[in-house]
């Protein structure tokens, strides 16, 4: 096994960069368009690493070109590979280095490119904390639950074994065919767990191995939110980018039916929580101070446990629950890179901070641009 790439090695690579001609790169999935649009808003070149068969969005539909006498699109260049993980090939890396690429990781990047490859082989400077990406996986010892605990943030009760289940709970287990998607299911007692898990295994949706690695949490009944943040090493400040919530199939369709019709549907279909999109939301202003405190606690925990800590965008995902005495916030998931939430720019929180709406993609580009101008790139990349 190779040794992890040191920050000193990345800084050595950065010393050969032309900081006046930075290129922002990302993987062609998840939030690539948001990253590219943000970069173009700050007059930075863009490149997207695509997988063959999934490239048209970036190589055709949103490629930079002239239309009606003006420049349109947000993707300046694409690299099309047989598999995303082929970006680890030396030839691809050399090209990215030659055009002074700063790579912005998204969830697809950590799904399709092996963590060992990201940590030990990828020489491209990454915007954010390279070592912290792995902590998003629940199987890791110092994972997101560990960080939330160290931050003193309230999380749902987790059952160590299914025989302890005594209330409505959600079982988070990876699908068999798409390990990056989770086949959530709900149970209230050990018998329901055994029946439901047996059914999913028989249908091939999950495996016994993935079930053994699943997380069982008490279901938190509240208003679900994604709290999107940005920590700036340059300003040493935490910013609140906004709130959004998820659209999930087939759960969303089911919830649009009257209760009696839902019961009829559930006789034939099971609820699926596959995320297909997000929508922008707002939150009551009296809760904003509490939200900032959660974000600040989490940032400090990552600094202690994974130096240099979080850099740039992240999200705490949870529910606002009723008191007494006041509403509380319970966090059940963390995104340790850019969340797939481009709609947050349509909330007004960044406009209150910057005077104009800022997406996570543009805020990343603003940080990169300032770091390049001030010769402080070492503070924002690993």
| pLDDT beyond 80 at 154 | yes
Q: What angle do CA 173, 126, 138 make, to 5 degrees?
A: 15
| pLDDT beyond 90 at 269 | no
| pLDDT beyond 60 at 36 | yes
Please give the Cα distance from 256 to 236 (Å, whole number): 44
Closest CA to 35 of 72, 75, 64, 71: 75
Domain with CATH 3.30.470.20 in the chain: 144-152+221-355
Q: What angle do CA 30, 36, 38 make, to 5 degrees?
A: 110
Domain with CATH 3.40.50.20 in the chain: 7-126
| Bridging pattern class, strands 45-51 and 77-81 | parallel
Please give the Cα distance from 48 to 26 (Å, whole number): 5
Strand partners of residue 101: 23
pLDDT, average across residues 26-43 = 97
CATH number of this structure's domain 144-152+221-355, picked from the four choices 3.20.20.105, 1.10.3720.10, 3.30.470.20, 1.20.1440.130: 3.30.470.20
User: What does CATH list as the number for 7-126?
Assistant: 3.40.50.20
pLDDT, average across residues 214-223 = 94
Average pLDDT over the chain reads 94
Strand partners of residue 231: 238, 312
Using DSSP, state whether 37 is helix, strand or coil: helix
The percent of residues above 70 in pLDDT, for the chain, comes to 98
The least confident of 3-17, 178-192, 345-359 is 178-192
Q: Is this prediction's pTM over 0.75?
A: yes
For 10, 40, 82, the CA distances from 15, given in Å and listed in that order, are 9, 24, 31
The percent of residues above 90 in pLDDT, for the chain, comes to 82
| pLDDT beyond 80 at 274 | no
181 band by pLDDT with thresholds 50, 70 and 90: low
pLDDT, average across residues 205-225 = 93
Helical segments of 151-285, H only: 190-202, 208-212, 251-255, 259-266
| pLDDT beyond 60 at 55 | yes
280 band by pLDDT with thresholds 50, 70 and 90: very high
134 band by pLDDT with thresholds 50, 70 and 90: very high
């Amino acid at each position: 096994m190779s040794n992890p790439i040191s920050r000193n090695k990345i800084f050595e690579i950065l010393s050969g960069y032309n900081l006046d001609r930075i290129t922002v790169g990302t993987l062609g999935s998840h939030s690539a368009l948001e990253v590219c649009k943000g970069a173009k808003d700050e007059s930075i070149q863009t490149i997207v690493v695509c997988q063959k068969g999934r490239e048209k969005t970036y190589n055709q539909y949103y490629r930079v070109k002239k239309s009606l006498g003006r420049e349109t699109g947000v993707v300046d260049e694409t690299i099309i590979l047989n598999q995303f993980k082929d970006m680890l090939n030396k030839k691809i890396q050399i090209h990215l280095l030659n055009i002074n690429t700063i790579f912005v990781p998204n969830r697809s990047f950590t799904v399709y490119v092996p963590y060992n490859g990201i940590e030990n082989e990828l020489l491209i400077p990454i915007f954010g904390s390279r070592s912290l990406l792995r902590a998003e996986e629940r199987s890791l010892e110092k994972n997101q639950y560990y960080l939330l605990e160290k931050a003193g943030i309230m999380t749902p009760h987790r059952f160590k074994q299914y025989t302890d289940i005594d209330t409505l709970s959600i079982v988070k287990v990876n699908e068999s065919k798409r390990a990056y998607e989770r086949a959530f299911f709900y149970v209230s007692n050990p018998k329901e767990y055994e029946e439901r898990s047996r059914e999913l295994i028989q249908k091939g949706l999950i495996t016994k191995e993935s079930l053994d690695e699943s997380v069982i949490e008490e279901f938190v009944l509240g208003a679900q939110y994604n709290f999107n943040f940005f920590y700036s090493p340059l300003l040493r400040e935490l910013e609140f980018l906004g709130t959004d919530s998820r659209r999930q199939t087939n759960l969303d369709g089911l919830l649009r039916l009257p209760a009696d019709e839902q019961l009829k549907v559930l006789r034939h279909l099971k609820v699926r929580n596959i995320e297909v999109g997000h929508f922008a939301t707002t939150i009551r202003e009296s809760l904003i101070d509490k939200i900032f405190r959660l974000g600040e606690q989490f940032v400090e925990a990552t600094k202690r446990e994974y130096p240099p800590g979080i850099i740039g965008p992240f999200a705490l995902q949870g529910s606002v629950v009723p008191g007494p005495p006041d509403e509380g916030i319970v966090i059940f998931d963390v995104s340790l890179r850019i969340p797939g939430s481009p709609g947050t720019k349509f909330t007004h929180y960044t406009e209150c901070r910057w005077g104009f709406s800022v997406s996570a993609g543009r805020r990343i580009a603003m940080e990169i641009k300032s770091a390049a101008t001030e010769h402080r790139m070492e503070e924002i990349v690993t």
